[in-house]
Amino acid sequence: TYNTRLDVSAAARAALVGRAEAGDTGARAIEAMLSRDLLPRLADFFLNSLVSGSVPKTFEVAVNTDATFAVAAAGPRRRHVS
């Protein structure tokens, strides 16, 4: 394991809930949003961190002004050697 913590901002939580409430599919809408919009960004961020050899202790999911999800390191990074 990488012992990395994930923080989700209040705005990101509100965006997920708001998008789910906008339709009548509920949990399926959240699952689709996570799969389509969030997981690819998380994977890119984490893989790029591993390649660079510097893994954040914490990373955060937030919402950009254009309503897309943003993933960024929050706090210090630590060196990762594979």
The pTM score is: 0.79
For residue range 27-74, list pLDDT tens digits in order. Answer: 777 788 889 989 999 999 989 988 888 888 899 999 999 989 999 988
For residue 82, what pLDDT is reported? 60
Q: Could you tell me the two tokens for 42?
A: 């998380």
For residue 1, what pLDDT is reported? 59
Instruction: Give the C-alpha distances (Å, rounded to integers) separating 78 from 2, 4, 43, 81.
Output: 10, 10, 18, 10
For residue 81, what pLDDT is reported? 65
Exposure string (b/e) for 23-42, b if CB count within 10 Å is 16 or more? Answer: eeeeeebeeebeeeebeeee
- The pLDDT-based confidence of 26 (bands split at 50, 70, 90) is low
Instruction: Give the C-alpha distances (Å, rounded to integers) separating 2 from 37, 39, 49, 65.
Output: 23, 17, 11, 30
